[in-house]
Structure 1
Amino acid sequence: MSSAFSGLNTMVRGLSAQQASLETVGHNIANANTAGYSRQNVNLVTTNPQTLYGGNGNFQLGTGVNIASVTRARDSFVDKQMWKESSTLGYGQTMQNSLTKVEGVFQEPSDTGVQTVLNQFWTSLQTLSTNASDNGTRTTVQQRGVELVNAIKHANQQLKDMITDINTSINLKVSSINQITSEIGGLNHQIVTVEAGGTDHANDLRDRRDLLVDQLSTMMNITVTEDKAGNYQIQSSGGTLVDASGSQKLDTVKSKDSYYGYSVENVVVAGSGQVINFSSGEMKGLIDSRDSSQGGVREYLDKLDKVSQFLLQDFNDVHKAGYGLNDTVGGTNFFGVDGTKYENWSPQDGEGGWVTELQVNSTILDPSTGLAKIAAKTLSTQGNASGDNAVKLGIRLKTDISSTLGNSSLDNYYSSLITGLGVQSQDAKRITENQTTLVAQITNWRESTAGVNMDEELTNMIKFQKGYNSAARVLTTMDEMLDKLINSTGTVGR
């Protein structure tokens, strides 16, 4: 026969289980809008039954309920998908932002873009060919040349400023990565400590750790595994960032671009100096947007450099072959430094390339004699009004094929530059939009498992409340029965 008081223990366990369930519902509701929070559940199991001996044999009498664990609702497979696709999204967004800024540098089509300035310079040469002796026309050619130089050099400087900004962003991202991996390493230790007994679950600590991994995955490609003790091991590009022993910091080291001479920030493992070769994420996007020959700032610096080389070599060759007013001797550079033979010249490594040499020849800009040295005619014996060399200058600028520009005319070369930039920008936008849609879908999958549904929680609240009230009613009834037994037994006949 069971103890008269065993039912009290059963109900006390029931009250405790329903109370814990209600408190967990409250915890879920309180954190419904907390970033990274996973819905928690109280897992209830029946207690070991009591064996009773009856006239017909033994039988099992239930003794109530126990709380087996409090666990979070989480799908690790969906998490791994999220971390992979978030990294790709981070790369696409970074490249899209960078290419949008490059488009802003060239401002095409617009009234102030390089293409417009090129066209205006060509138009001034056309006018010169028909009115070569007019100083006003020559002044226009002179100033249009200055505009062209300024437009190219300004675009070049803006691109270099972008590289400086990218280097700054890389440094900031490395600091963020180190902060995140350090915190994950600390959370590893806390989680292992809490879960050391094998029964407890560090739900809120795990949520915080997974939220940090979410943030880390947007910045870089990562692989996440969990060991038997509960530690996260995070690797990227062959290097270990976090494991059971702690976290590994990253660092940046400066180098100098061998051609242009600007500073470059490279990401390495702190201490060892091993270079990290990112394969996706914002870090990969930043490095590619700076260095890549397909969509990076470096690509467009190279193309402006080729345009500058064309003006200093190909355009100057035609100008030097002509003559100015009053039989001014030929051989004068229109662009660059007077007397420099650019056909035999090449930039010094690390000095900035051809664009640093680009300027309108100071001889051409001389206020007293400069206009006369603009070579509009091909022969010194021709009249001052002859503009046949100006025609050749216009043809060289607009339609002549140049090996410097990859067997393309300057007009086609620059048009291809702008078209290619637009295609690259559209491609980055497409990748970003596709990844945004995919990440949103994965987020919905995750929320369907881990998210807090207020209707569901309120339903559970009512269920556990009724369970608690019912257990309390049974406990009250048992208390009344025991009171009768204890206080009324033996009073019959008194």
Structure 2
Amino acid sequence: MSLFNIGLSGLNVAQNALTTTGHNFSNAATPGYTRQSTIIASAGGQFTGSGFFGQGSSTVTVQRVYDGFLTGQLRTATSASSELSTFSSQISQIDNLLADQNAGLAPLMQKFFAAVQTVSDTPGDTAARQGMLSAAQALTGQVKASSDYFKQLQDGINTQLTSSVRQVNDYTKQIASLNKQISQLTAASGGQPPNDLLDQRDQAVSELTKLVGAKVVVQDGNTYNVFVGNGQPLVMGSESYDMTAVPSAADPSRITIGYTLPNGNTVQSEDGSVTGGSIGGLLRFRSQSLDQAQNAIGRLSLAIGQVFNNQHKLGIDLNGATGTDLFSLGQPTTYANANNKSNAVATATITNAGSLTTSDYSLKFDGTNYSLTRLSDNTVVATSTSLSGISADGISVSLNGPMSANDSFLIQPTRNAAAGFGTLITDPAKVAAASPARADASTQNTGSGTAKLSGVAQGFTQLSGKITAKYTGAGYTFTDALGNVVTPTSTAASGTGTDYTFSGLTFHFDGTPKAGDTFTLSSNSGATADNGNALALAKLQTAKTINGTSSFNDAYASLVNQVGSDAKSASIASESQDSITTQVTSAQQSVSGVNMDEETVNLLKFQQLYQANAKVIQTASTIIDTLLSIG
């Protein structure tokens, strides 16, 4: 091996190293670029009688300065950051709506019941009655606005999921294509790594993990297989399998994630199986926060509406007519599963708004029994073997025909109920503030007996005429205006007195009457100053009407506190995860990133190496010229 060739080999090595260093410099700001290093080795020695003389150096390969463990950590951290960031930004929108002191429901509920209290104070004041109706309209308007906002968020999630799935498919196709190119170029180059393509593939995987939590399995040393969910493949070698955004089989109003299997079939993902990335954050927000908030507002509207309507119908208005519904109520939503084999239709009705939960329900048939499952805790709350109906938690579900085995229905009692919340009364005179009946003692009574209207049952009938109650010394007899005996529909002892009921109106007689004392029971029509029913309506504000434990304000405050707590926790978790991701990024970049100072040192080192080897060649040339001149 000549000195000239040794110098030339060093010159080539130095040039290759300078090229690699220049490549690092030019890609210092390229996303996903991994610093490259020229691997130099001795060309070996040649045996002579005087020993082995070196033959110079050679470039073995150009390889990435790459740490697979740190890169995997960074993918996981990035996916978690994206999920938490998406969840936090989404739930903050609900938190801002519910906690708003001006646009929230709490101040409007307070204003409404304050207006009801004003009516109870001045029941004959038309302005007070109009104020109550206006407050009711403001309350229902805000409930509807909240419902519309939640519906927009649901639609927005559907749109975002569809868009994100398209991006996922673009990346998986890119990864599969890069797998193929990398395999081909590696084979064609005799095993030399195509570093820039490897960087492009890692960058594509990194972008993919921002969208969805993906697991990467390296096959045969250089091929990436990518899986999501419960092991569903997205990339297998040079083949990619599309993720799909399809209407849910259980609820066609919402988009869910599906997969295209290697055999070409498409299946929907199970709830909770898709996590990580912005897609995981959207799905988590929808199932854990948005659905619950929407259901809670729906339940609140049903509770206020049904409880208030029931009490309002126990009074009479300024025209003497029995009260009617003040609020219109939304209805439960029922969806037949797309895979059902029967044509049965399920219908759900609200039987008791005060017993409602904020959960959805599933009605299933196993071939023998119908079961109603509360999905929030996966508890079977009712079973039946007949089609006559199945009831629990304030709802009743009936069928128009038999279900086939394994058929199912999704029941959403409160999800869209707030959209149907409205006011039905616009005439102030129709506010039923007065009690429907009264009991008046005769001025001729000598005893200390008392009588009053103590209870009104739903569906009562107003008294058509006056009823005279006369104490005989042993009890009361009841006669109408013509002297005919009127028999109470029921009589029952109550405390120290006795209750007598006439067509749903219960009068309580107490005290110590004397024989001959009389009381007149009559309709309260025309009593514009009576506030008996208005007082009962005002008391509903603090009554524990929801599951016997919460008032309307309590239920709303619980929702606000829950959402606020979740939003704060999500924000803290997101900031914490971002910090972790930053640390992992720094660790990965400390190994694989381009360090300008280090590359500058390398540039100078290889420049000097180049110059030194040029001197070797120059020296070899001088020696040859000298030898030739001697010859």
TM-score normalized by the length of structure 2: 0.70
Instruction: Give the corresponding residue for 2:628.
Output: 486
Shift of 1:257: 6.4
Equivalent residue for 1:19, pick from 15, 36, 39:
15
1:185 aligns to 2:176 (yes or no): yes
- The answer as to whether partners of 2:37 and 2:64 remain within 8 angstroms in 1 is yes
In the alignment, is residue 127 of structure 1 matched against residue 184 of structure 2? Answer: no
For residues 35 and 412 of structure 2, what CA distance do their matches in structure 1 show?
A: 57
The aligned residue for residue 431 of structure 2 is 374
Of the structure 1 ranges 196-205 and 212-221, higher mean CA displacement relative to structure 2 is found in: 196-205
* Residues 199/48 of structure 1: CA separation in 2 closer, same or farther (3 Å cut): farther
CA contact (8 A) 2:148 2:419 kept: no
Task: Tell me, yes or no, if structure 1 residue 9 matches structure 2 residue 1.
Answer: no
2:213 partner SS: coil
Q: What amino acid sits opposite 1:402 in the alignment?
A: T
Corresponding position: 1:317 with 2:310: yes
- Which amino acid in structure 2 is aligned with residue 130 of structure 1? D
Match of 1:387 among 528, 531, 535: 531
Q: CA deviation at 1:353?
A: 4.2
Give the C-alpha shift of residue 185 in structure 1: 0.4
SS of the equivalent of 1:242 reads strand
**1:389 partner amino acid:** N
Deviation at 1:214, TM superposition (A): 0.8
Instruction: Please state if 1:254 is matched with 2:247.
Output: yes
Conserved in 1, the CA contact under 8 Å of 2:25 and 2:599? yes
Quick one: distance in 1 between partners of 2:301 and 2:616?
Answer: 92
- Structure 1 residue 329 displacement after superposition: 2.1
Matched to 2:66, the amino acid is R
Contact 2:21 2:599 in 1 (8 A): yes
Residue 445 of structure 1, CA deviation: 0.3
1:275-294 correspondence runs (5 A): 275-276=268-269, 277-290=273-286, 292=287, 294=288
Instruction: Describe how 1:85-484 pairs up with structure 2 within 5 A.
Output: 85-106=77-98, 108-196=99-187, 197-237=189-229, 238-255=231-248, 263-270=253-260, 271-276=264-269, 277-290=273-286, 292=287, 294-295=288-289, 297-326=290-319, 328-336=320-328, 353-361=416-424, 364-365=425-426, 370-381=427-438, 383-396=527-540, 398-404=541-547, 407-484=549-626
Aligned counterparts of 1:223 and 1:423: Cα–Cα separation in 2: 32
Change (3 A) 1:34 1:163: same
In the aligned structure 2, how far is the partner of 1:343 from the partner of 1:29?
Answer: 73
Give me the CA root mean square deviation.
Answer: 2.1
Measure the CA separation in 2 of the matches of 1:344 and 1:469.
92
1:394 aligned partner, one-letter code? A
Residue of structure 1 in register with 2:390 after alignment: none
Larger RCO of the pair (alpha carbons < 8 Å, separation 6+): 1
Q: Deviations over 1:93-147 (max 9, x none)?
A: 11111101212333x2322221111111011111111111111111110011011
Distance 1:343 1:331 in 2: 20
CA–CA distance in 2 between the matches of 1:317 and 1:342? Answer: 14
Shift of the 458–344 alpha-carbon distance from structure 1 to 2, 3 Å rule, reads: closer
Higher strand share: 2
Moved more, 108-117 or 203-212: 108-117
CA distance in 1, matches of 2:538, 2:53: 104
Structure 2: state its 5+ residue gaps: 330-348, 354-394, 398-410, 439-523
SS of 2:37's equivalent? strand
Find the aligned partners of 1:202 and 1:243 in 2 and give their Cα distance: 20
SS of residue in 1 equivalent to 2:423:
coil
Distance 2:352 2:612 in 1: 98
2:11 and 2:161 mapped to 1: Cα distance? 56
Q: Distance in 2 between matches of 1:127 and 1:386?
A: 13
- The answer as to whether partners of 1:138 and 1:371 remain within 8 angstroms in 2 is yes
Q: Distance in 2 between matches of 1:360 and 1:257?
A: 33
- Which 10-residue stretch deviates more, 454-463 or 240-249? 240-249
Aligned mates of 2:248, 2:530 — CA distance in 1: 53
Larger Rg: 2
Q: In 1, are the aligned partners of 2:315 and 2:322 still within 8 Å (CA)?
A: yes
Deviation string, structure 1 residues 210-239 (Cα, Å, up to 9, x no partner): 111111112212111212251101111211
| Partner Cα separation in structure 2 for residue 380 and residue 359 of structure 1 | 29
273-282 vs 150-159, greater mean Cα deviation: 273-282
- Of 25, 44, 51 in structure 1, the residue corresponding to residue 47 of structure 2 is 51
Number of aligned pairs?
462
Mapped contact 1:252–1:267 kept (Cα < 8 A):
yes
| AA matched with 2:161 | I
Aligned equivalents of 2:120 and 2:129: distance in 1? Answer: 10
Larger mean Cα displacement after TM superposition, 165-174 or 241-250: 241-250
Cα distance in 2 between the residues matched to 1:342 and 1:180: 47
For residue 432 of structure 2, what is the amino acid of its counterpart?
Answer: A
Structure 1: stretches of 5+ with no match in the other structure: 490-494
- Identity, in percent, stands at 28
Cα deviation, residue 256, structure 1:
7.1
Give the CA deviation at 1:444: 0.2
Determine the structure 2 residue equivalent to 1:81. 73
- From the two aligned structures, give the one with the greater helix fraction: 1
1:129, 1:391 within 8 Å by CA — same for their partners in 2? yes
SS in 1 for 2:93: helix
Q: What SS is found at the alignment partner of 2:61?
A: strand
CA deviation after TM superposition for structure 1 residue 246, in Å: 1.5
Q: Determine if contact 2:212/2:277 at 8 Å carries over to the other structure.
A: yes
Contact 2:350–2:396 (Cα < 8 Å) also in 1: no
* Larger mean Cα displacement after TM superposition, 242-251 or 178-187: 242-251
> In 1, distance between residues paired with 2:250 and 2:102?
33
SS of the residue corresponding to residue 325 of structure 1 reads coil
Aligned to 1:492: none
Q: Report if the CA contact (8 A) 1:44-1:65 is conserved.
A: yes
